[in-house]
Amino acid sequence: MRIIFSGGGTGGHIYPIMALIERLKERKLVTNEDILFVGTEKGLESKIVPAAGVPFKTLKIQGFDRHHLLKNFETIKMFLEANKEAKKIIKSFKPDIVLGTGGYVSGAIVYTAAKMHIPTMIHESNSVVGLANKFLAHYVDKICYTFDDAASQFSEKKKLVKTGNPRSQQVLGLNNKKIDIAKKWDLNPNLPTVLIFGGSRGAYAINQIVQKSLPDLEKKPYQIIWATGQLYYGNIKKELASHQLNKNIKIVPYIDNMPALLPEMTCVVARSGATSLAEFTALGVPVILIPSPNVTHNHQMKNALDLEKAGAALVIGENDLNPNSFVSSIDHILLDQKYAKKMSKASKQLGVPDASDQVIKVMEQLTENKK
């Protein structure tokens, strides 16, 4: 099977593809010569994909500007040019199927493939369907999705297949050697522990609330691993240089191997991007979600509310963040073992342990039908 993948801009568009590629190779359904990732030159994919040794090509394209409508004439022109380039890529590579996960670059390559009568499909990992996937839904053969709220936003009901996020299966199959928190950070493995992080770069609002809550957190009968993000670590260490932290709190810049640490955590405080949620639900980790408000259509809040509705998360909006709401939410999980177990069970029920295989099954059906 020869496959073109496309997705750009955010990790939520890239990591499901990387998980799929890994699983396809594990099952010996493809080699590196059978796959191609089409992205943009400046997007996150331009770093992640080549670094993983996956063949990579780019298209020049940009999104619509809702504030400066005249700029959209240039956007339309670029889309038409990208379609021409996409056609060349498709003719040269000769894929059996093309899969997009979102981002404007996937709009061009998947749309062109559909018009060329090549089997096509999209995967939506968020609760709120992105513009590219809304557009492509009219043209593709199948629509894979993770959240039920996303399914309700597609009018093409016969195309829908609930598969979950491929990152879920990848996390479960990593067989990571668990991080020994006693050895690494001199923490007690028998005490409840919360991991607080805002992504690789960190999140200012989350770091601020942790700092404000330190007097309370230092008195607690549980432990805190606070991953500030690379961007904020230096400043936070300077600001706290004169403060002797209690030994129940450890400050680190970043967690290199998150899936190896998550099973050791009683609870996690984090943003609610699609990739993170796929990891949490795969492993059944209770979470306190503080959605980023700086995302398209506030999709992180919708993602988070889906988990909260299922009993797998507590959600705090950034505007509602204060030391009392923050610390009491952590207390609620870490000081009530029965409640933590209930959340963990609800979380696991949302995870899809064979998500990659489910997406691959759809791919195989489409390519078989084409023969």
CB 23 within 8 A of CB 356: yes
φ and ψ of 187, to 5 deg:
-105, 160
Mean pLDDT across the stretch 45-66? Answer: 83
Measured in whole angstroms, the distance separating CA 32 from the mean position of its chain's CA atoms is 24
Task: Return the CATH number of the domain spanning residue range 3-165+353-370.
Answer: 3.40.50.2000
| 189-227 pLDDT, tens digit each | 999 999 999 987 789 999 999 999 999 999 999 999 999
Residue 242 CB coordination number (10 Å): 6
Q: Which residues make up the CATH 3.40.50.2000 domain(s) of the chain?
A: 3-165+353-370, 181-350
| 99-152 pLDDT, tens digit each | 999 988 998 999 999 999 999 999 999 999 988 999 999 999 999 999 999 999
Of the listed ranges 63-67, 194-198, 221-225, 314-318, the one predicted with least confidence: 63-67
**What DSSP letter does each residue of 237-273 carry, written as one string?**
HHHTTTS---TTEEEES--TTHHHHGGG-SEEEE---
- Hey, what CATH class is 181-350 in? alpha beta
CA-based nearest residue to 102, from 151, 57, 143: 143
CA end-to-end span of the chain, whole Å?
12
pTM: 0.87
pLDDT value of position 69: 53
